[in-house]
């Protein structure tokens, strides 16, 4: 790691830490660094920083490092950390906020696949009101360029009557569209 000026980083990024605290509703300054969150986290083998390290880095104002980390995209939102935190911090919720902040600040490279998946998933919900799984699989593969991904599951799913070729459209689609448009507008996206 290159040289790092801690006090300077703290100063310039203080507003970022405050923002994460406000957005997540979690006071990360309460963290004791007991590392219980990391001890139970099932994703650490694929992470670059442990969850408690992310918390510490946040407190130190290491905005870029946190937002560029692999960790926030590996986190599966399983809530083990939240359940076990001795300081009652919803760590999983902080991870949600960090993913959203990473998108806002343009750090999307490591999260590319997750972001495409979420976008396609929500795209089907926005159009039909419900998830359209077959469409999700196809569109996801097209956008990631991995055309054959999970195709071996397609036929067996079909044969078991588990894959529907057409989406179910709910009646309240207009209301759903409004929910999507309004939440996006309020976020200023």
Partner 1 sequence: MAKYAFYPGCSLETGGIEYGMSSHAVAEALGIEFLEVPDWNCCGASSAHMTDHLLSLALPARVLALAETLPVNEMVAPCAACHQRFAAVEYELQNEDLRRKVNSLLERPYTGKVRLRSYLDVFANPATLEEIRKKVKRSLKGLKVACYYGCLFVKPPKLVNFVDDPENPQAMDNIMRVLGAEPLPWPYKTECCGASLGMTREDACTKLCNDILKIAKDSGADCIVAACPLCQQNLDMRQITVEKKYGTQYRMPIPFFTQLIGLALGLDPKVLGFKKLFVDPVMVLRKVGAA
Contacts to ligand SF4 by CB under 6 A = 31-37, 41-43, 51-52, 55, 75-81, 85-87, 89, 91-92, 95, 131
The footprint of partner 1 on this chain (CB under 8 A) covers a number of residues equal to: 56
Which window, 10-18, 27-35, 54-62, 162-170, contacts partner 1 (CB under 8 A)? 162-170
Q: How far apart are CA 156 and CA 36, in angstroms?
A: 41
User: Is residue 78 at the binding interface for partner 1, with CB under 8 A as the rule?
Assistant: yes
Which helix H or strand E contains 18, and what residues bound it?
A: helix 6-24
Counting contacts by CB under 8 A, is residue 27 touching partner 1? no
Angle, to 10 degrees, between the axis of helix 91-104 and the axis of helix 6-24? Answer: 110
Q: Which of residues 123-152 bind partner 1 (CB under 8 A)?
A: 125, 129-131, 133, 140, 149-150, 152
Q: How far is CA 160 from the centre of its chain?
A: 32
* Alpha carbon separation from 51 to 16, 33, 68, 156 (Å, rounded): 18, 10, 14, 38
Residue 162 binds partner 1, judged by CB under 8 A:
yes
Q: Which of 42, 105, 151, 155 binds partner 1 (CB under 8 A)?
A: 42
User: Within a 10 A sphere around the Cβ of 22, how many other Cβ atoms?
Assistant: 10
Element (H, E) at 116: helix 112-128
- CA 183 centroid distance within chain: 17
Reduced to 3 states (helix: H, G, I; strand: E, B; else coil), residue 43 is coil
33 binds, among partner 1, ligand SF4, none (CB under 5 to 8 A by kind): ligand SF4
* Residues that bind partner 1 in the complex, under the rule CB under 8 A: 23, 42-43, 45-46, 73-74, 76-80, 82-83, 90, 92, 96, 99-100, 113-114, 117-118, 121-122, 125, 129-131, 133, 140, 149-150, 152-153, 156-157, 160-164, 168, 170-172, 175-176, 178-180, 182-184, 186-187
């Amino acid at each position: 790691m290159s040289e790092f000026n801690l006090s300077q980083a703290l100063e310039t990024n203080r507003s970022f830490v405050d923002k994460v605290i406000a957005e997540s509703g979690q006071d990360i300054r309460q963290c004791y660094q007991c590392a219980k969150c990391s001890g139970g986290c099932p994703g650490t083998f694929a992470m670059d920083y442990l969850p408690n390290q992310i918390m510490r880095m946040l407190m130190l104002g290491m905005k870029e490092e946190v937002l560029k980390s692999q960790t926030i995209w590996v986190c599966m939102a399983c809530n083990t950390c939240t359940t076990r935190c001795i300081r009652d911090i919803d760590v999983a919720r902080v991870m949600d906020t960090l993913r959203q902040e990473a998108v806002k600040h343009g750090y999307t490279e490591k999260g590319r696949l997750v972001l495409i998946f979420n976008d396609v998933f929500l795209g089907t919900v926005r159009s039909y009101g419900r998830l359209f799984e077959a469409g999700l699989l196809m569109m996801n593969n097209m956008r990631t360029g991995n055309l054959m991904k999970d195709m071996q599951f397609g036929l067996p799913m079909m044969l078991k009557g588990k894959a529907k070729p057409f989406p179910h459209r709910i009646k309240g689609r207009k209301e759903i569209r409004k929910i999507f448009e309004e939440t996006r507008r309020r976020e200023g996206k």
